[in-house]
Amino acid sequence: MEFAVRAGGIEESVLDRTWNASGFTCFPSSLGARPQTRRLGLAEPDGEHRLLPALVPPDEPPPVQPLRPLIGGDLLETENPFFFRTVLQDTASLIYLPVFQRGTLVYDAIDRKALGPSPNGLSAADRPDNVASWFGYHFTPALCPNCGHDVAGEKESLIVFCQNCVVGFSVSGGKLTEVPLAVGKGGSRTASFLPFWRVRVETEGLPLPRGTGKILPGGRREQMDRDHFHFWVPAFRINPRLFLRLAHRATMAQPAIEPTSLTSLSSVAPITIASVEAVKTVKILLALLSPKDTELLRGLQDRSVKVREHLVVLVPFEQSGYELTNRQIQAAVHVNALKYGRNL
Ligand SMILES: [Zn+2]
């Protein structure tokens, strides 16, 4: 998902980006639409090919250029100035583009077009001895480290749950690491739970919105103090417009939470947005909450957000027909939006 902040509002889109991970500049900087238009297969070591190592880590994509050039460098001269852009990364895959070398040139092996002069070091690149460990499937025992019961999660889920201990674990590097969990208050026995990241950041100097928290008699919201203010971000994939709307509504509502001890985790939507991506959304929320603060919007690009605490909150939604609603957040989600969001 991509969010571009402009003076006229926030533009959302879904994109599939590729970038050159090899470090060799003779290769294209992007594969364009090819990964979507051609069928990709699982890479296997076959002893025939040399594989260049990936030198650029997946969490360091090159910066995206502004959507349109700025006139004379002065933001105010454009009719709808661009301030900054945030890309939330869902899944990163390493794709090998087949190339071959002939003479002094290197060629794309699919369309057989010359890519450019073969760089020094390309012919010397060979398969490292441990290359077999890059391939195939790697299995992690799905057993709770606390009690030995099976942990459960859907295939795209970043966090799996132990129904016995009622705790969540993130899976990384073949290890399960416990993730702090809480449940939003007020759900019925038949509620479905949608996961949100609740993020507390260093708020010094940040313009926090007025009127956040519980709705008081008379319709106004109470004012949450800075130390107890949290940003709320959906932890599941859904179309970007709805993603931002849910984040905005939940941040304005500041829902109350309770421990997970009495709650079954069986009806939770899979957690597919990592905490690091949720933290990136904080800047977008700040832009959404202070749309007229041009000085803030200009400075957000380079501003760092210091995270003080984050946890997963399973927010109860009541299902009626095809709609899931939460009155505290004042938000509704169509079940098909969740279904199609998984494939974004
Ligand atoms: Zn357990």
pLDDT of 198 reads 95
Residues in the 5 Å CB sphere of ion ligand 1:
144, 146-147, 149, 162, 164-165
pLDDT of residue 213: 66
Give 151 Cα–ligand 1 centroid separation in angstroms. 7
* Dist. CA 324 → ligand 1 center (Å): 29
Residues 6+ apart with CB under 8 A from 253: 212, 213, 214, 221, 232, 328, 329, 330
Tokens representing residue 320 in the block: 């009626």
Distance 311 CA to ligand 1 centre (A): 19
Please give the distance, rounded to the nearest whole angstrom, from the Cα atom of residue 169 to the centre of ligand 1: 10
Residue 171 Cα to ligand 1 midpoint, Å, equals 15
Distance from the alpha carbon of residue 197 to the mean position of ligand 1, in angstroms:
22
- Quote the CA–CA distance of 197 and 190 in Å, as a whole number: 22
Q: How far is the CA of 254 from the centre of ligand 1 (A)?
A: 30
Q: How far is the CA of 275 from the centre of ligand 1 (A)?
A: 22
Cα of 150 to ligand 1 centre, how many Å?
8
Nearest C-alpha neighbor of 286 from the set 192, 189, 199: 199
Instruction: Give residue 105 CA to ligand 1 midpoint distance, Å.
Output: 57
Residue 265 CA to ligand 1 center (angstroms) comes to: 12
**Ligand 1 geometric centre to CA of 22 (Å):** 41
Q: Which of 303, 284, 302 has its CA nearest to residue 10?
A: 284
**Residue 148 C-alpha to ligand 1 middle, in angstroms?**
6
Please tell me the predicted confidence (pLDDT) of residue 295: 83
Distance 164 CA to ligand 1 centre (A): 5
Q: What is the ipTM metric for this complex?
A: 0.99
Q: What is the pLDDT of residue 241?
A: 92
273 alpha carbon – ligand 1 mean position (Å): 23
Q: What is the pLDDT of residue 234?
A: 96
Distance 258 CA to ligand 1 centre (A): 19
Strands 192-201 and 307-320, sheet pairing: antiparallel
Spacing, Cα 231 to ligand 1 middle (Å):
29
Tokens in use for 328? 């505290």
Name residue 236's amino acid: F
Q: If you measure from the C-alpha of residue 141 to the centroid of ligand 1, how many angstroms do you get, rounded to a whole number? A: 13
The pLDDT, as a whole number, for residue 134 is 60
Break the chain into its structural domains and give their ranges. 1-137, 180-341
pLDDT tens, per residue, the chain with 344 residues: 888 888 888 888 877 778 888 878 788 888 877 877 888 877 776 666 777 777 777 666 666 554 444 444 454 446 778 888 888 876 677 888 888 888 888 888 888 998 888 777 666 554 444 455 566 667 778 899 999 999 988 878 888 888 888 888 988 777 899 988 888 988 888 888 999 999 998 877 777 776 666 666 777 777 667 778 899 999 998 999 999 999 999 999 999 988 776 556 666 788 989 888 898 899 899 888 888 888 888 888 888 888 888 899 999 999 999 999 998 888 999 989 888 887 76
Q: What pLDDT, on a 0 to 100 scale, did the predictor assign at position 130?
A: 47
